[in-house]
Amino acid sequence: MADITEVDYIWKNGELVPWAEATTHVLSHSLHYGSGVFEGIRCYKDPASDKSFVFRLRDHMERLHRSCKIAMIDLPYSVDELCDATVEVIRANNLPACYIRPLVYRGYGVMGVDPTGAPTDVVIAVWPWDAYLGPEALANGVSVGVSSWRQRSNNAIPPAVKATASYMNSILAKLEAKQHGYAEAIMLNEAGLVCEGTGENLFIVRDGVLSTPPLSDGLLEGITRDTVLCLAEDLEIPAIEESLTRSDLYIADEVFMTGSAAELTPIGAVDGREVGKPGPVTRALQDRFFDVAYGRVEEYADWLTEI
């Protein structure tokens, strides 16, 4: 985890605003009730070609629109406009590689649980951000623990919406994990099945077969998760979606988590049970992922937006 590095501009409500002036009122609805939705996206710079690409930008902005539809938030910008704004703010800040945070939230104007009448504010912020769980995580893996906190159910906060409110659950699990000496937490759903991390999807490998929980078990429809399933097919790695128990994590040959922030982070131990160093399937998928993100695989060129 790292502090935010300030840059020059944030895109807010259709214009570039100086970083320090991108403020919101303390009585904004989303600050009190969690009524916002967001995305996490990365822009990669290929060290070989010196070119920069935003990874699956359109897919992220389409998911942002879906989140707004579920949350009944009126998003006044099209997918194309949001994609163009992302390129604009990256170029304005002269960032060849960065993390991108689009956020749609209900602003100042009404108070109370009913958000009717609150204005919609839209921001896109960018800043330099290296490996989410630290520089050694991608190479050597991290230790995780199964949390006592359960993931929210399909009929509580729908997992298909990437909502600010749902991350209170993740915060509780993350803080508990840190107290126990783990880098990250794994949450089960209400049925006791493996769901996801605090901000990542999960994969295991056993006997050469890649497995990940199905969306019906209550997890976010992760874009990096979808990427890994596509890349596994490329590499002829057998991959299935199936419900997993915590015991499946303990006896797996390899375990890793995925997300725009976490990328493909190996897991070296679960609840004190050693998984070991990142294995051949994890390594192959990591290598393929970064080749794609750096623009080195022509068949995935439509996933990339060049800056």
Collapsed DSSP state (helix, strand, coil) of residue 304: strand
pLDDT in tens, 15-42: 999 999 999 999 999 999 999 999 999 9
User: Phi, psi at residue 122, to the nearest 5°?
Assistant: -130, 125
pLDDT in tens, 229-247: 999 999 999 999 999 999 9
Q: Indicate the Cα dihedral angle 126, 128, 132, 136, nearest 10°.
A: 170
pLDDT in tens, 174-206: 999 999 999 999 999 999 999 999 999 999 999
Alpha-carbon span 138 to 133, nearest angstrom: 8
**pLDDT beyond 90 at 139:** no
Count of other CB atoms within 10 angstroms of residue 264: 24
pLDDT at 113 (0 to 100): 96
User: pTM for the complete prediction?
Assistant: 0.95
Distances (CA, A) of 289 to 55, 191, 199, 265, 286: 10, 32, 19, 12, 5
Tell me the domains of the chain and their CATH numbers. Answer: 9-127 (3.30.470.10), 137-293 (3.20.10.10)
Catalytic residues: 162
The CA-CA-CA angle for residues 118, 122, 123, to 5°, reads 140
- Residues shown for the chain: 307
